[in-house]
Structure 1
Amino acid sequence: MKIIEHFKRQFALKKLRDPNYRFLFDDNIPDEYVSFDCETTSLDVKEAEIISIGAVKICGNKIVTSESFYVLVKPEGMMEARNVTIHGLRPKDLRNGLPIEEALKQFLAFVGGRPVVGFFLEYDVAMVNKFLKPMIGVGMPNRQIEVSALYYQQEMRQKYYDMVVDLRMASMIKKLNIPDLPRHDALNDSINVAMMYLALQARE
């Protein structure tokens, strides 16, 4: 698997159009990760826009909240009212948000080449890549760590007959016995995920 990932990264590096983003491939930062989350206008990647990005660094077994990242993004299209009730961000809250290109530029500078951690991370990465690929020619090359997959693997080791594992964030947080920050806020969710990741590492 590591060999396959190596060749994937080398292929992506060749497709990189902007050499200023070569730092995304510098993954020699030992024991550092970035937990991140996006809030969006829809759950459909094809039509959704990013309206906020939150991230926090994990260094060793510590969450470095003093090095957190949060940015509001001004969407180009209309927001769905049903999603406003979830994340609480209204059009007027985003009036002074950054254009998505500038928001991603700042976000990537924060992440660097560190592995990224998330909860159902595939969606968040897909949202970033939707706007990133037209900018630089490639999506995020960072190694991805999915906390729900780690949790599932650990839970299945203890199950013999009952094969159902509850992968809802609230259930996982309760089982891991960690604080539950108010959810559907990009920064809070990234901190929640960072706490989940460290709790899962402690259970190994």
Structure 2
Amino acid sequence: MNLVQNLKSAWYLKKLTRPEYKGMFQPPQPNQWVAIDCEMTGLNPKKDHLLSIAAIHINGSQIQSGEGLHLICRPPVMPKKDTIVIHGLRPLDVENGLSYEQMLERLLPFIGNRPIVGYCPQLDLGFLNQITKSYMGTALPNPVIDIRDLYSRYSGNRTQGISHQAQQLSAICQQLKLPELAAHDAYNDALMTAMAFLHLK
């Protein structure tokens, strides 16, 4: 953990209101990560809502796909037709989902102090951190790894000037000759993210 991350964790720790999560602020163990993906009703954390989240442990060179989490949440506003066609989650699917507090009670211990791996994770964390700040007083302190950055280095930064479409998760997996799973499913996307990360790291 570098100096910037240490200072960030210390700052967040001062704001923590739930001491049971103090372990999240400890330095992570080597070769342990957690791949995360979320599905939302839209892309704006100020007006859209989290619908589902998946998290999968990566230990060394192993993806613990059979022991991951896939949590469906009950949002304050039900998804509408124009977004259902993207994520496939209908009001019927989420109305009996977990409250955001129940979701965090399961998710946060699973994440622990592992670095978070994601595809464009800043978007997912924009939604998650808004919820965690209300729940425990602070945003997630974990280091964050974006596989787009890893892929850019892997390809010699040749992704500069290439269309956004060509840098999507499915396109990255195709370039790496990895299995492509159905998109816009949180668990499938978390699993593809984990596979791409192991290939690129």
5+ residue gaps, structure 2, are none
Q: How much does 1:163 deviate?
A: 4.2
User: What is the aligned partner in structure 2 of residue 119 from structure 1?
Assistant: 119
What letter corresponds to residue 55 of structure 1 in structure 2?
A: A
In 1: Cα distance, 2:194 partner to 2:5 partner: 24
Percent same amino acid among aligned pairs?
33
- Runs of at least 4 residues of structure 1 off by over 4 A? none
Contact 1:26 1:112 in 2 (8 A): no
Residues 86 and 23 of structure 1: is their aligned pair in 2 closer, same or farther, counting only changes over 3 Å? same
The DSSP-based 3-state class of the residue aligned with 2:138 is: coil
Q: Give the corresponding residue for 1:164.
A: 161
Query: C-alpha displacement at 1:89, in angstroms?
Result: 0.7
SS in 2 for 1:58: strand
Q: Which amino acid aligns with 2:42?
A: S
TM-score (norm 2): 0.93
Which residue in 2 is equivalent to 1:28? 28
Q: Which residue of 1 aligns with 2:11?
A: 11
Q: Residues 76-121 of structure 1: CA distance to partner in whole angstroms, max 9, x if unpaired? A: 1132311100111100111210101110121111111100100000
- How big is each residue's C-alpha offset from its partner over 1:103-156, in whole Å with a ceiling of 9 and x where there is no partner? 012111111110010000001111100111011111000010000011012212
- Counterpart CA distance in 2 for 1:152 and 1:14 is 35
> C-alpha separation between the residues in 1 aligned to 2:138 and 2:160?
38
Determine the C-alpha separation between the residues in 1 that align with 2:61 and 2:172.
Answer: 19
Asked whether the 8 Å contact 1:152–1:167 carries over to 2, the reply is: no
Q: Secondary structure at the match of 2:155?
A: helix
TM-score (norm 1): 0.92
Cα distance in 2 for residues equivalent to 1:16 and 1:130 = 14
1:63 maps to what in 2?
63
Q: Distance in 1 between matches of 2:198 and 2:26?
A: 23
Gapped regions of structure 1 (runs ≥ 5): none
